[in-house]
Amino acid sequence: MPAVIEQKKIINTNTDFLPLDGTDYIELYVGNAKQAAHYYMSAFGFQAVAYAGPETGVKDQASYVIRQNKLTFVLTTPVRPHNEMAEHIYMHGDGVKHIALKVNDASDAWEQTMKRGASSFLEPVRLEDSYGEVVMSGIHVYGDTVHLFLERKNYTGPFMPGYRQWNNPHFQPKDTGLLYVDHCVGNVCWNQMNRWVQFYEDVMGFKNILTFDDQDISTEYSALMSKVMSSGNGFVKFPINEPAEGKKKSQVEEYLEFYNGPGVQHVAMATNNIVATVRELMSRGVEFLKVPNTYYDTLLDRVGHIDEDLEPLKELGILVDRDNEGYLLQLFSKPVQDRPTLFFEIIQRKGAKSFGKGNFKALFEAIEREQAARGNL
């Protein structure tokens, strides 16, 4: 028996050269990190964790770390002009800069991806303080987006070396049931989807687990294509979208225009109780896309039996879709900044491993109504 187990181990090591333990954190570059942190805490129910800035010896930027269950966001802003971070915000507005992935060996992750053709953002660097050490490295992906590899085996501090604990005993908003990053979607330019699919396959050892073409995802006006890339163990999923030809400007084109290039379109956050989570988020001011009430007239014919009552789903506008393995409930926020770029998805999976293909049409029509209101359709 042990021989068999040993053999299995060897096979796994050979096939997955970049084992990822999930998302460590997502860092956004924003125009005002102090106020953004307050928004994510008050509206989404994150808690204060750590801070780095001029007071901790970081001269040029301020970073606020907030957390809810396994979701960690870092909100970073430059405190001076004329630097890469200030330029990033000028070009892209608020948006995701770093997707940090948990690894066992950040040096190996960097070497494995570099020898397969990655472009280096950060050579492996060891950061130390009295709480232990963290090793970090990073590679460039689409646009100005970066994947960091984070190795924090024995680190016991609040976040990372350079950060100090941050909390406010007078402001600790209740959580909203958000648990972890389910997937993180990138928008890339015309005809670039397959290039990035290839990148994730060749450089990071990901597999293409689902494909949507413009027949699946099109409305009267606009279309897009999407391929879902998954890490070997399925802990990290990156769907990649590109625009497709339609009568009018597609939502991906609108994103690319206002983000000034490729970038993260949405982050999907998982919950175990989407009705409670969405009700709470709405009461705190998070705005969601709304499908017409007629969506619910035929919903149960389409998806069959579901455990949830239909009424609250209809009241909150929650969408449902089914695949061979089960069903999922999902809802999409409106963009969380003035540019029509980054938004969030709230998702509850009940067996389904897919991404809501059956909802695309109703959803994109809702997006187009918003686009038209902005004068961008």
CB of 327 to Fe ion, least distance (A): 15
CA-CA distances (angstroms) from residue 4 to 17, 35, 103? 21, 55, 26
Rounded to the nearest 10°, the torsion over CA 23, 77, 332, 182 is 0
Is the CB of 98 or the CB of 349 nearer to Fe ion? 349
What is the closest distance, in whole angstroms, from the C-beta atom of residue 330 to Fe ion in the complex?
Answer: 7
Q: What's the one-letter identity of residue 281?
A: L
Applying CB under 5 A, the span of 137-145, 197-205, 334-342, 345-353 interacting with Fe ion comes to 345-353
Residues in binding contact with Fe ion, number by CB under 5 A: 2
Shortest separation between residue 99's beta carbon and Fe ion, angstroms: 15
* Strand spans (E) along the chain: 23-29, 47-52, 61-68, 71-78, 95-102, 120-129, 132-140, 146-151, 164-165, 178-187, 207-212, 223-230, 237-244, 263-271, 319-323, 326-332, 343-350
Task: Fill in the DSSP letter of residue 174.
Answer: P
Choose between 253 and 345: whose C-beta lies nearer to Fe ion: 345
117-141 residues labelled b (16+ CB within 10 A) or e (exposed)? ebeebbebeeeeeeeebbbbbbbeb
Per-residue contact string for residues 265-294; x = within reach of Fe ion by CB under 5 A: ---x--------------------------
Q: Which two tokens stand for residue 196?
A: 């990035």
> Taking the C-alpha atoms of 11, 13, 15 and 16 in order, what is their torsion angle to the nearest 10 degrees?
150
- Name which of 16 and 323 has its Cβ closer to Fe ion: 323
Nearest approach, Cβ of 329 to Fe ion (angstroms)?
13
The encoded tokens of residue 62 equal 């301020």
Distance CA 154, CA 211 (A): 39
Cα 86 to Cα 29, 320, 338, distances in angstroms: 9, 40, 17
> Contact, 301 vs 310, CB < 8 A?
no
Give 143 or 356: the residue with its C-beta nearer to Fe ion: 356
Which range in 21-29, 187-195, 296-304, 342-350 contacts Fe ion by CB under 5 A?
342-350
CB of 343 to Fe ion, least distance (A): 10
Among 15-23, 33-41, 192-200, 344-352, the segment contacting Fe ion (CB under 5 A):
344-352
Q: Which is nearer to Fe ion, 44 or 159 (CB)?
A: 44
How far out from the chain centre does Cα 206 lie? 17
What distance lies between CA 262 and its chain's CA centroid?
14
Using CB under 5 A as the binding rule, whether residue 321 contacts Fe ion is answered as no
Q: Which is nearer to Fe ion, 254 or 345 (CB)?
A: 345
Q: Which is nearer to Fe ion, 101 or 319 (CB)?
A: 319
User: Shortest approach of Fe ion to residue 342 CB, angstroms?
Assistant: 12
Stretch that binds Fe ion, among 204-212, 274-282, 318-326, 338-346 (CB under 5 A): 338-346
Q: Decide whether 86 or 268 has the Cβ nearer to Fe ion.
A: 268
| From candidates 345, 349, 371, 377, binder to Fe ion by CB under 5 A | 345
Judge whether 377 and 221 are in contact, CB under 8 Å. yes
The stretch near Fe ion (CB under 5 A) out of 65-73, 106-114, 126-134, 340-348 is 340-348
Q: Are 227 and 206 in contact (CB under 8 A)?
A: no
> Element (H or E) spanning 4, and its range?
helix 2-15
Nearer to Fe ion, 47 or 222 (CB): 222
Residue 224 near residue 209, CB atoms below 8 Å: no
How far apart (Å, rounded) are the C-alpha atoms in residues 37 and 24?
18
Give the binding range for Fe ion (CB under 5 A) out of 31-39, 156-164, 263-271, 333-341: 263-271
Q: Which stretch in 31-39, 44-52, 56-64, 337-345 sits in contact with Fe ion by CB under 5 A? A: 337-345
Q: Measured from the CB of residue 183, what is the shortest distance to Fe ion in angstroms?
A: 6
With H, G, I as helix, E, B as strand and everything else as coil, classify residue 181: strand
Task: Please say which residue, 108 or 321, places its beta carbon nearer to Fe ion.
Answer: 321
**Which residues would be at the binding site for Fe ion (CB under 5 A)?**
268, 345
